[in-house]
Amino acid sequence: MAFLQVDNLAKSYTGNDAPVFENVNFSIEKGEFVCIIGHSGCGKTTILNALAGLENASAGNLIMDGREVVGPGLDRGVVFQSHALMPWMSVIDNVKFGVRSRWPDWSKAQIEAQATQYLEMVGLGHALHKKPSMLSGGMKQRVGIARAFAIQPKMLLLDEPFGALDALTRGTIQDELLKIVQATEQTVFMITHDVDEAILLSDRILLMSNGPRARIAEIVQVTLPRRRTRHDMHHDPRFYRIRNHLVDFLVSRSKDPKPAGEIHPPVVRPGEDEPLTASLAA
Amino acid sequence: MKNEHWKSLLLSVVLFAFFIGVWFVATQPKESAQQAAAQDEYAALMGKGAAKSGGFPPPQEIGKAIVTHLSDPFKDNGPNDKGIAIQLGHSLGRVGLGFALAILVALPLGFTIGMSPLLHRALDPFIQVLKPISPLAWMPLALYTIKDSDLSGIFVIFICSVWPMLINTAFGVANVRKDWLNVARTLEVKPLRKALTVILPAAAPTILTGMRISMGIAWLVIVAAEMLVGGTGVGYFVWNEWNNLALPNVIFAILVIGVVGMILDRCFAGLQKLVSYTE
Ligand SMILES: Nc1ncnc2c1ncn2[C@@H]1O[C@H](COP(=O)(O)OP(=O)(O)OP(=O)(O)O)[C@@H](O)[C@H]1O
Ligand SMILES: [Mg+2]
Cα gap A275→B3, rounded to integer Å = 72
When pLDDT is cut at 50, 70 and 90, the band that residue B56 belongs to is confident
A133 contacts B279? CB cut-off 8 A: yes
CB A42 within 8 A of CB A213: no
Residue B142 has pLDDT above 50, yes or no: yes
Share of chain B above pLDDT 90, in %: 64
Average pLDDT, chain A: 88
Instruction: Kindly report, residue by residue over A53-95, the tens digit of the pLDDT.
Output: 999 988 999 999 989 998 999 999 999 988 899 999 999 999 9
Instruction: Kindly report, residue by residue over B165-217, the tens digit of the pLDDT.
Output: 999 999 999 999 999 999 999 999 999 999 999 999 999 999 999 999 999 99
A98 contacts B197? CB cut-off 8 A: no
Query: To the nearest whole angstrom, how far is the Cα of A30 from the nearest Cα of chain B?
Result: 20
Cα gap B275→B203, rounded to integer Å = 9
In CATH, the number for domain A4-75+156-166+187-281 is 3.40.50.300
A133 contacts B186? CB cut-off 8 A: no
Of B198, B171, B209, whose CA–CA distance to A88 is shortest? B198
Domain ranges of chain B: 84-275
Q: How far is the CA of B273 from the centre of ligand 2 (A)?
A: 35
Interface predicted TM-score (ipTM) of this complex, two decimals? 0.88
For CATH 3.40.50.300, list the domain ranges present in chain A: 4-75+156-166+187-281
What is the pLDDT at residue B42?
Answer: 56
Give the best residue of A88, A91, A103, A154 to mutate against chain B (max B CB count within 10 A): A88
B52 vs A172, higher pLDDT: A172
Closest-CA residue of B relative to A55 is B182
Residue A107 has pLDDT above 90, yes or no: yes
B182 contacts A72? CB cut-off 8 A: yes
CB A76 within 8 A of CB A40: no
Going from the C-alpha of B170 to that of each of B101, B110, B125, B156, B167, the distances in angstroms are 17, 4, 14, 22, 5
Ranges A223-232, B121-130, B195-204, B245-254: which has the least confidence: A223-232
Cα gap A278→B14, rounded to integer Å = 84
Report the residue from B179, B188, B201 with minimal CB separation from A88. Answer: B201
A80 contacts B182? CB cut-off 8 A: yes
Report the residue from B198, B201, B278 with minimal CB separation from A133. Answer: B278
**Can you give the three-state secondary structure of chain A, one letter per residue?**
CCCEEEEEEEECCCCCCCCCEEEEEEEECCCCEEEEECCCCCCHHHHHHHHHCCCCCCEEEEEECCEECCCCCCCEEEECCCCCCCCCCCHHHHHHHHHHHHCCCCCHHHHHHHHHHHHHHCCCHHHCCCCHHHCCHHHHHHHHHHHHHHCCCCEEEEECCCCCCCHHHHHHHHHHHHHHHHHHCCEEEEECCCHHHHHHHCCEEEEECCCCCECEEEEEECCCCCCCCHHHHCCCHHHHHHHHHHHHHHHHHCCCCCCCCCCCCCEECCCCCCCCCHHHHC
Contacts of A74 in chain B (CB under 8 A): 186-188
Question: Which residues of chain B have a Cβ shorter than 8 Å from any chain A Cβ?
Answer: 177, 179-180, 182-183, 185-189, 197-198, 201-202, 204, 275, 277-279
Task: Please count the other Cβ atoms lying within 10 Å of the Cβ belonging to residue A201.
Answer: 23
Cα gap B211→B206, rounded to integer Å = 9
Query: To the nearest whole angstrom, how far is the Cα of B52 from the nearest Cα of chain A?
Result: 58
Contacts of A151 in chain B (CB under 8 A): 187
Contacts of A97 in chain B (CB under 8 A): 187, 197
Going from the C-alpha of A7 to that of each of A4, A69, A256, A263, B173, the distances in angstroms are 10, 12, 22, 10, 37
Report the residue from B177, B189, B204 with minimal CB separation from A101. Answer: B189
Instruction: Kindly report, residue by residue over A11-35, the tens digit of the pLDDT.
Output: 988 766 788 888 899 999 999 999 9
Of B121, B117, B131, B125, whose CA–CA distance to B174 is shortest? B117
Contacts of A102 in chain B (CB under 8 A): 187
Closest C-alpha residue for ligand 1 atom 14: A43
Give the best residue of A51, A101, A189 to mutate against chain B (max B CB count within 10 A): A101
Share of chain B above pLDDT 70, in %: 91
What is the atom index within ligand 1 of the atom nearest the CA of A47? 18
Instruction: Kindly report, residue by residue over A165-198, the tens digit of the pLDDT.
Output: 778 878 888 888 888 888 888 899 999 989 999 9
Closest-CA residue of A relative to B182 is A54
A122, burial (CB in 10 Å: exposed 0-12, middle 13-18, buried 19+): buried
Q: Is the dihedral of CA A112, A115, A120, A121 positive or negative?
A: positive
Contacts of A54 in chain B (CB under 8 A): 182, 185-186
Give the best residue of B183, B272, B275 to mutate against chain A (max A CB count within 10 A): B183
What is the pLDDT at residue A183?
Answer: 83
What is the pLDDT at residue A117?
Answer: 93
Q: Which residues line ligand 1 (CB under 6 A)?
A: A 13, 20, 38, 40-46, 211
B183 contacts A80? CB cut-off 8 A: yes
Closest-CA residue of B relative to A153 is B187
Contacts of A87 in chain B (CB under 8 A): 277-279
CATH class of B84-275: mainly alpha
B182 contacts A84? CB cut-off 8 A: yes
The neighbouring-strand residues paired with A36 are: A191, A206
A97 contacts B187? CB cut-off 8 A: yes
A97 contacts B278? CB cut-off 8 A: no
Sequence-distant (≥ 6) Cβ neighbours of residue B59 within 8 angstroms: B20, B23, B24, B27
How much is the pTM? Answer: 0.84
Residues with C-beta atoms within 5 A of ion ligand 2: A 45
Of B69, B129, B72, whose CA–CA distance to B250 is shortest? B69
